[in-house]
């Protein structure tokens, strides 16, 4: 939760541009705050441990716990469903129709999944995101693929 607190504090202290962290529109700010706190409890709580279990443990020669990895994978899928079905159901970005710091946090977490190579982890990032076309745009590296209709980049 530290990152959320730090970002909010920095945004207030340095008066960042309005869409990134709204100051004048209290409803917009509440929506950004809602997404930031949901992010930590749902997205970060599932996706970060998934990458640790499936990628980082292997780098350090530690055998991953497949039961934990499967739980984190299921939780990650739930978080992606919530992201698409609730936060992106009627808006262009996760906290509304303008980009915000919430989009940066969520997109960074989704992009982190790119380091999972299918042959090493058994999980393919493209397959994980494929059922979530609205959330797909949050992965900045892949935006152009969605808009051009090109096939997903090979992440295996």
What are the pLDDT digits (tens) for 89-115? 888 888 998 889 898 888 888 777 766
- Report the alpha-carbon distance of residue 148 to residue 125 in Å, rounded: 19
For the chain, the first-to-last Cα distance in angstroms comes to: 31
pLDDT tens track for 16-63: 888 899 999 999 999 999 999 898 888 888 888 888 888 888 888 898
């Amino acid at each position: 939760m530290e990152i959320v607190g730090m970002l909010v504090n920095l945004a207030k202290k340095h008066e960042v541009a309005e869409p990134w962290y709204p100051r004048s529109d209290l409803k917009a700010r509440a929506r950004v705050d809602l997404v930031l706190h949901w992010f930590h409890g749902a997205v970060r709580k599932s996706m970060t441990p998934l990458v640790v279990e499936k990628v980082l443990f292997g780098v350090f020669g530690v055998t991953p716990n497949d039961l934990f990895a499967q739980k984190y994978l299921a939780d990650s899928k739930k978080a992606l469903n919530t992201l698409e079905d609730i936060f992106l159901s009627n808006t262009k970005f996760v906290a509304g129709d303008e980009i915000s710091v919430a989009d940066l946090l969520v997109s960074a977490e989704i992009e982190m999944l790119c380091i999972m190579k299918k042959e090493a982890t058994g999980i393919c990032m493209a397959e994980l995101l494929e059922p979530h076309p609205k959330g797909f745009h949050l992965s900045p590296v892949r935006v152009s693929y969605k808009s051009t209709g090109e096939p997903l980049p090979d992440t295996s």
